[in-house]
Structure 1
């Protein structure tokens, strides 16, 4: 499964709105903005930067010793659009999200989700070619989905 970088991309756009930076600066700033709860890696930040470049949201100045990234007009527009639907301070949300991500409860939930996904995939494999089992599995998943919606 492709790793999702949407929140990191949003954070990068917010940083570049403040000032142009090179990749290492971005990684350090992301870590600092999370009070150390997020340890930015090149394996996350540089692919996110490339995706932002591909989407024409940021621009690259490779004229100096280091590649300097700058937010583009499309990136500014994206931030304006998302601001309409979000309330509160982005960096406070960033901090809270990163602290939650590293919490024991979050680790336990992700492990439980992985076990669930494994079992659902096994059940799907066993249901192949058996329409009754497929209907039962769909009903079970729908029931669990409805229960989650009530949480």
Structure 2
């Protein structure tokens, strides 16, 4: 599954909404605001910064000796849209997310999902051999999806 950088991008917009920063400052601040539970990597932060620049939400300060990023009008608008439709304080949610992701439940859920994904791939491979197997697998996946949907209502 492809990881999305949306939550990290929103965190970066929140930081740059406070003050211009360079990449290392951003990484350290993201870690700090997670209570030390999230270790921001260059491989996550710099692509997120690049994407925000490509979307014209942030830019580099040409007068700075370091690559210092600052928020542009479009970034401020996006941040305000996000804030307007959310409840709660962003940084509390940020920290809570990392607390949960480091919990035993999250670790077990990830292990279970990895096992499920491996077994599903095997079942799909076997289902290619007959339309009856494909039908059974489709019905099984639909049934499980409906059960999950009912549980989350």
Aligned residues: 151
Match of residue 14 from structure 2? 14
1:22-101 matches, within 5 Å, as: 22-101=22-101
- 1:90-149 CA-to-partner distances (Å, cap 9, x unmatched) read 000000001111111101101110110111111111111422221211111111111112
Q: How far apart in 1 are the matches of 2:93 and 2:38?
A: 13
CA RMSD of aligned residues (A): 1.3
Deviation at 1:54, TM superposition (A): 1.4
Taking structure 1 as the reference length, the TM-score comes to: 0.94
Normalised to the residue count of structure 2, the TM-score between the two structures is 0.93
Q: For structure 2, list consecutive stretches of 5 or more residues without a partner in the other structure.
A: none
For residues 5 and 66 of structure 2, the distance between their equivalents in structure 1, rounded to whole angstroms, comes to 23
**Deviation by residue 1:18-77 (Cα, 9 ceiling, x = unmatched):** 100000000111111111111111111111111111111111124422101111111111
Per mean C-alpha deviation after superposition, the further-off stretch among 8-17 and 37-46 is: 37-46
Aligned-partner Cα distance in 1 for 2:47–2:122: 32
